[in-house]
Structure 1
Amino acid sequence: MSEARPPLLIQGGMGVGVSGWRLARAVARTGQLGVVSGTALDVVLARRLQRGDPGGHLRRALAHFPAPEVAERVLSRYFVPGGAGDGLPYRPVPRLGLRSHRVRDELTVVANFAEVFLAKEGHEGPIGINYLEKIQMATPAAVYGAMLAGADYVLMGAGIPSEIPRLLDALAAHRPARISVAVAEADAEERHTVGIDPVALLGRTPRPLERPRLLAIVSSHVLAAYLARSPQTRPDGFVLESPVAGGHSAPPRGRMRLDAVGE
């Protein structure tokens, strides 16, 4: 962990292409927590490469990926020198799914690595990455890519991130890891999971990683108490979202109360 104490200010994870590496790096340079959005970074990376990677930033980041052959496969698949012509469709990325898919996992890991690497480049400030718990099928590969780049914090809301502490522990040691996936209309006794085997994906065992701190984004004391009840589910801290936060706050609890303007 690069900082000696928790930050006083946490920049919000405001969505795809908004909380990007430039904004997060600017915040982190002040000593506060800069946050990149981890949502759909596979699509973001693929499209930026097909636009020719203006400024060469993504290629600079991928040159530092710990498994060069993996980064090269991503570049050879998506990078278009000079950018694709106007009106041409983007090459699609593999869909999320429960079954292992090497091309998809490599792209997801590399994309999250690149975003965090660029956010951390050139300073010692803290960088976090924000994920949505409800986008479960991308989480193991995405988190691993961010950890390879040295993410200091993982922030997660839009759900109950009870399995993420265990995921971070396993990935810091490059151990295979899986998390549960909610499947509509599945039988109660069925458990569906998605995971990643870091060593199999990279083709090597890198040195152990520093485990990032987990900040769970919660909107009620009930959820905070539930997560804090056990070391297996307990995050390293909470981000509290009041009703004015909007976003992915939980449904209201208790009797409905309206103010003078009906809100």
Structure 2
Amino acid sequence: MTTVVALPRIIQGGMGVAVSNWKLARAVSLVGQLGVISGTVLDTVLVRRLQDGDIGGDMRRGIRRFPVDGVADEVLKRYFLPEGRRPDQPYKLIPMYKQRVSVARQQLTMLANFVEVYLAKEGHSGPVGINLLTKVQMPNMASLYGAMLAGVDYVLMGAGIPREFPGVLDALAEHRSATIRFDVDGLAAGESEVLSFEPLEHGVTDRTPLTRPRFLPIISASSLATTLARKANGRVDGFIVEGPTAGG
């Protein structure tokens, strides 16, 4: 018997850096439509909110629900300023991403995405999605795993051809390692580089399979839809079609 899933009539755009934040996504989701958070540099957004004093305590509330021991305490110790920054005090920066980063750096990315999704979903059952840029390759798998630990319902991806990410979602839902091709200029013919993510490195004690979110690539041409439908390495659940007024 085929299960028919009611799809949202409204998909709120996942725009910019903290423009489509958890509050906007939550408001849309509460009325039964698809609220979407922007996943762009959420790790930087989180640590800056903490350094600004986390007014209202929302970040700390979400951080305390993160299911990896020790990460919450370490991040709060390093970045939280109870009184906020002085007017002339610069933000403490986080390390730039590179092809291989430390477990702690990945966990900060996981935590930030977890917190944003957790807060958007807190206290209701409406759908919440996350929007990621395919071309911003290095943090994407850690971002997805963190969002999935918080129960994200949809993943939206544009700015490239995300045909490897259905398989990534399948793997992460089962806490298995995931790998994607890493685009590097100047490689010799036949050479390739990859990005890898290993969930078991992060100490998640509950290995119950996660809900695999529905995957909606963002496209602007029928040829891209055909490519993804035929060549993606896992299930594609639909497409979001952008016209010339979409911007970006």
**TM tier, smaller:** over 0.9
1:38–1:131 Cα contact (<8 Å) kept: yes
Q: Mean Cα displacement is larger for which, 79-88 or 186-195?
A: 186-195
227-236 or 92-101: bigger deviation: 227-236
Residue 103 of structure 2 contacts residue 201 of structure 2 at CA under 8 Å; is this kept in 1? no
Distance across 2 between alignment mates of 1:221 and 1:167: 24
Q: CA RMSD in A?
A: 1.5
1:68-83 → structure 2 map (5 Å cutoff): 68-83=69-84
Superposed counterparts of 1:45-194, under 5 Å: 45-194=46-195
Determine if contact 1:227/1:233 at 8 Å carries over to the other structure: no
Distance 1:85 1:207 in 2: 44
User: CA–CA distance in 2 between the matches of 1:167 and 1:100?
Assistant: 19
Report the Cα offset of residue 231 of structure 1: 5.8
Q: Identify if the C-alpha distance between structure 1 residues 155 and 42 changes in structure 2 by more than 3 Å, giving closer, same or farther.
A: same
**1:216-255 map, 5 Å:** 216-230=217-231, 232-247=233-248
2-structure distance, mates of 1:72, 1:207: 24
Distance in 1, matches of 2:196 and 2:56, equals 34
- What percentage of residue pairs aligned between the two structures are identical? 53
Kept in 2, the 8 Å contact 1:227–1:234? The answer is: no
In structure 2, the residue corresponding to 1:130 is in which secondary structure?
strand
d(CA) in 1 for partners of 2:53, 2:216:
35
Hey, what's the Cα distance between the residues in 2 that align with 1:23 and 1:83? 24
Cα-to-partner distance string for 1:203-242 (whole Å, 9 max, x where unaligned) = 5353210000110000000000000014625521100011
Q: 2:27 maps to which residue?
A: 26
Q: How many residues align?
A: 245
CA contact (8 A) 2:164 2:180 kept: yes
Residue type of the alignment partner of 2:41: A
Letter in 2 for 1:114: V
Q: Is the 8 A contact 2:9 2:33 kept in 1?
A: yes
Q: Return the alpha-carbon distance in structure 2 between the equivalents of residues 188 and 21 of structure 1.
A: 44
The unaligned stretches of length 5 or more in structure 1 are: 248-263
Residues in 1 aligned to 2:114 and 2:128: alpha-carbon distance in whole angstroms: 12
Deviations 1:151-196 (A, max 9, x none): 0000000000010001000000111112111111122322212222
CA contact (8 A) 2:173 2:210 kept: yes
Cα distance in 1 between the residues matched to 2:172 and 2:242: 28
Deviation at 1:100, TM superposition (A): 2.9
**Aligned in 2, Cα 1:124/1:203: closer, same or farther, shift over 3 Å?**
closer
2:207 is aligned with what amino acid?
P
**Paired position in structure 1 for 2:41:** 40
In structure 2, C-alpha distance between the alignment counterparts of 1:164 and 1:54, rounded to whole Å: 36
Distance 1:202 1:77 in 2: 20
How many angstroms apart in 1 are the aligned matches of 2:89 and 2:103? 26
Structure 2: distance between partners of 1:172 and 1:233: 13
Q: Which runs of 5+ in 2 are unaligned?
A: none
> C-alpha separation between the residues in 1 aligned to 2:141 and 2:182?
11
Do the aligned partners of 1:141 and 1:195 also contact (CA within 8 Å) in 2? no
